[in-house]
């Protein structure tokens, strides 16, 4: 049973890391990507409750700031992907 929990933890950690990296990639990607926008949305949806919990439970400024920075990265990724979509529509 212990190995199953370890494997599950590794899978979840890998998925979280891929989501965060995809969200950061969405900030610098020169072409639009639905995957980057979805990763940004997932990052934002996970980071905002994390920031609220970090502040509400322990008034931890470092963890609250880290979660809020991740939420801003997610929001920025979504915004950037939407702006690239609008630019492509104008060119057509």
Whole-number pLDDT of residue 54 = 92
Helix and strand counts by DSSP (H, E) for the chain: 3, 0
* Residue 32 DSSP symbol: -
* pLDDT of residue 26 exceeding 70: yes
What pLDDT shows up at residue 1? 59
Q: Cα(7)–Cα(1) distance, rounded to whole angstroms?
A: 10
Is residue 80 predicted with pLDDT exceeding 70?
Answer: yes
Our measurement of the distance from residue 20's CA atom to the centroid of its chain's CA atoms, rounded to an integer in Å, reads 5
Answer whether 0.95 is exceeded by the pTM: no
Residues 62-78 have pLDDT tens digits of 999 999 999 999 999 99
- Gap between the Cα atoms of 19 and 14, Å rounded: 9
Are 74 and 44 in contact by the 8 Å Cβ rule? The answer is: yes
pLDDT at 19 > cutoff 90: yes
Residue 7's pLDDT band, with cuts at 50, 70 and 90, is confident
In this predicted model, which residue has the larger pLDDT, 40 or 3?
40
Other residues' Cβ atoms within 10 Å of the Cβ of residue 47? 22
Delimit the domains of the chain by residue range.
2-91
């Amino acid at each position: 049973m212990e190995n199953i929990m370890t494997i599950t933890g590794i899978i979840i950690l890998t998925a979280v890391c891929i989501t965060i990296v995809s969200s950061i990639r969405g900030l610098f990607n020169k072409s639009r990507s639905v995957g980057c926008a979805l990763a940004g949305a997932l990052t934002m949806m996970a980071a905002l409750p994390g920031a609220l919990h970090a502040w509400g439970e322990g008034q931890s400024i470092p963890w609250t700031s880290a979660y809020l920075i991740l939420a801003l990265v997610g929001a920025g990724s979504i915004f950037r992907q939407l702006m690239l979509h609008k630019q492509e529509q104008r060119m057509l």
